[in-house]
Amino acid sequence: MPDKVVLAYSGGLDTSVAIKWLKEKYNLDVIALTIDVGNEPDFSVIRQKALKVGAVKALVTDAKELFVNYFIFPALQADAVYEGQYPLASALSRPLMAKLLVDAAMEEGASAVAHGCTGKGNDQVRFEVSINALSPELKIIAPAREWGMTREETINYAQRYGIPVPATAASPYSIDENLWGRSIECGVLEDPWVESPEEVFTWTRSPNEAPNLPGYVEIGFDKGIPVTIDDQEMGGVSLIQHLNELAGSHGVGRIDHLENRLVGIKSREIYEAPAAAVLLQAHQALEAMTLSKDQLRFKQRVAVEYADLIYNGLWFTSLHQDLAAYVKSSQRFVTGTVRLKLFKGSCRVVGRKSPKSLYSYGLATYDKGDIFDQSAAPGFIHIWGLPVITQAQVQGISSVEES
Ligand code: ARG
């Protein structure tokens, strides 16, 4: 009996060809595993296709809840955004897929797992580092990195073996999508000077064509987790789906990022992430109200580390566990509601409230009801300014050239 391999199967050209190729090249029986992270409306078609192309078994796993609860929401609580731009949709899905691949390999008694990544991207790293961390003895095969075929040759291979070539194979773009966002690269986007054509966007309406009246949305958080929209309780998956549609219809969530890949390449990627854009902004607004100045500053540093760690494929590490524990602790009072205004591509916070708010009206107001003791200010200023005065008197306030 041939050995078995579990392949992460998307239904696209590369992974379909991989089913055949793994049999030809390695004589492996392929078990196709398709993971639903909110990217497809109909998985039965993909399942059928895997079997038709030659998989001995085709599994479909609905991982949307897992993805939201264990990956997206912790990343939201951390405010994880790579290089200040990318909410990490693709990056966050890989460790989850790696875990499900490893689990399936155990259950099916497979000696290997396979993925469809090329040798130039981040995703191969994320998959393989995660798989190795979870199960070092599993063999990993990356057909698209090994076979050395161009796009055209891959299409020819598919035609030769009667593998249906999806219509999307004609598209110049490489697309990856899940609940947290859509990533688009290749084609004209490889020229960083060229504005992304309207055709690359499918989740967001062009801001030009967005409604002429703003939309308002209120998001309620419980300990840093979004739980209501306009006072209605919603599960995480539906909440994100709802916001993707609402914010997308106002043209919110388009990102044009020239990013630094882990493998040393700068690449230009377009993202659509309407729900992520809204939720990250809302969450940060609530933190601004419920965390102290020092907590906010420290947490921003953690956010950068957290985002890098996700981007760089280091999900299954102790550093991640340590940071996650800090992030979770930081969220214990991040409860309240944020109101946002969506209008022609922009998303702005226009109101926030919290039962644990550190904003004190009595301290802030200039009207009556002011409880701030202004007579204490001169003493504060005197002591605060002491080192400044001392230094100015001894060393003067000279510019670099003069000293
Ligand atoms: N650049 C993003 C990342 O490394 C997205 C990768 C997948 N993009 C794609 N268009 N297939 O996380």
Beta-carbon contacts of 353 under 8 Å, excluding residues fewer than 6 positions away, are 289, 336, 337
Residue 133 CB neighbours (<10 A): 17
Overall residue count recorded for the chain in this entry: 403
Ramachandran angles phi, psi of 159, nearest 5°:
-65, -40
Residue in the structure block whose two tokens are 């990356």: 142
pLDDT at 308 over 90: yes
Summarised one tens digit per residue, pLDDT across range 228-286 is 999 999 999 999 999 999 999 999 999 999 999 999 999 999 999 999 999 999 999 99
Q: Is the CB of 176 under 6 A from ligand 1?
A: yes
Q: What's the rounded Cα separation, in Å, for the pair 380 and 395?
A: 24
Q: What's the rounded Cα separation, in Å, for the pair 331 and 223?
A: 5
Q: What's the rounded Cα separation, in Å, for the pair 142 and 137?
A: 16
Summarised one tens digit per residue, pLDDT across range 324-346 is 999 999 999 999 999 999 999 99
- CA–centroid distance, 311 to ligand 1, in Å, is 10
Mutate to test the pocket of ligand 1, among 269, 312, 315 (most ligand atoms within 8 A of CB): 269
Fill in the amino acid letter for 12: G
182: tokens are 């859509």
Residue 14 among the catalytic residues: yes
Q: Is the CB of 185 under 6 A from ligand 1?
A: yes
Residue 169 CB neighbours (<10 A): 15
Q: Is the CB of 90 under 6 A from ligand 1?
A: yes
Report CA-CA distances (Å) from 234 to 178, 225, 237, 332.
19, 11, 8, 20
Question: Contact 217/279 with Cβ under 8 angstroms?
Answer: no
Q: What's the rounded Cα separation, in Å, for the pair 288 and 238?
A: 26
Fill in the amino acid letter for 274: P
Q: What percent of the chain has pLDDT over 90?
A: 94
Summarised one tens digit per residue, pLDDT across range 51-70 is 999 999 999 999 999 999 99
Which protein residue has the closest C-alpha to ligand 1 atom 6? 90
Question: Contact 49/186 with Cβ under 8 angstroms?
Answer: no
Residue 185 CA: nearest ligand 1 atom is 10
- CA–centroid distance, 267 to ligand 1, in Å, is 10
Residue 123 among the catalytic residues: yes
Beta-carbon contacts of 11 under 8 Å, excluding residues fewer than 6 positions away, are 34, 40, 45, 46, 49, 50, 166
Q: Is the CB of 124 under 6 A from ligand 1?
A: no
164: tokens are 């249906």
Q: Is the CB of 174 under 6 A from ligand 1?
A: yes
Residue 126 among the catalytic residues: no
Question: Contact 173/185 with Cβ under 8 angstroms?
Answer: yes
- Mean predicted confidence (pLDDT) in 130-135: 98
pTM recorded for the entire structure:
0.96
Summarised one tens digit per residue, pLDDT across range 192-221 is 999 999 999 999 999 999 999 999 999 999
Residue 354 among the catalytic residues: no
**DSSP-derived pairing of the beta strands 225-229 and 215-222:** antiparallel
Mutate to test the pocket of ligand 1, among 90, 151, 255 (most ligand atoms within 8 A of CB): 90
Question: Contact 211/330 with Cβ under 8 angstroms?
Answer: no
